[in-house]
Structure 1
């Protein structure tokens, strides 16, 4: 599959919301204000495009210092297992390193352990979580 990665692309809220709905079985009618959220909180974000079509996305939020957080990794189900997700995470790691961060954190469901640990190079760690 041929695709292009674009860092800090101009986000279309409806387009990115539709991608997330496809990737996570969400409601395609719900539009999230992605552009304003990213402008306020993200160190960077990266889109994967097949031509003009958004087929993948990842964002990196941060604390303004040493710690950054990988969030919202999404790949269109029709494009999964084609290297898009791995390329997005690799680009996010490079951008985070270039920004001077020392750590990149990611939380994931058990079914994604192979992807994040084996394919993307994260190592397991203990963490805590409170549902709010």
Structure 2
């Protein structure tokens, strides 16, 4: 039987738990990041998926202080992928951002993620530029 997954918006963030999920999802070494402080300071909202009390999905949106928000760090634990969790956290975040008055939600993604962002999340592809600064 599938485990129940609860999606929460603007939940109290545990820095270690989110740092572990982020490291796993993006394939990098674990580094403790002060996520709670970062989200409070820079993000308009965030959403997480929890299974048995464990954080298994996450996404947040930083903003320009106006009507534009930018989706970042969409992550799902490897043992919970391909169950619709990523789409659910993005949908919950999108709804919260609408309620907060945002008008435009931007996202950058690699080509292999186009189907997810188009089909599961409803984004239209656009041309964008990218400049690596470091």
Same fold (TM over 0.5): yes
CA distance in 2, matches of 1:52, 1:127: 38
Q: Tell me if 1:5 matches 2:7.
A: yes
Three-state SS of the structure 1 residue aligned to 2:70 is strand
Output aligned runs, 1:1-132, within 5 Å: 1=2, 2-28=4-30, 30-132=31-133
Deviation at 1:113, TM superposition (A): 0.5
Gaps of 5+ in 2: none
CA distance in 1, matches of 2:103, 2:13: 27
Gaps of 5+ in 1: none
Deviation at 1:65, TM superposition (A): 1.1
Three-state SS of the structure 1 residue aligned to 2:98 is helix
CA distance in 1, matches of 2:28, 2:60: 19
Runs of 4+ in 1 over 6 A off after TM superposition: none
What is the TM-score when the length of structure 1 is the normalising length? 0.95
The CA RMSD measured in Å over matched residues stands at 0.9
CA distance in 2, matches of 1:105, 1:65: 13
What is the TM-score when the length of structure 2 is the normalising length? 0.94
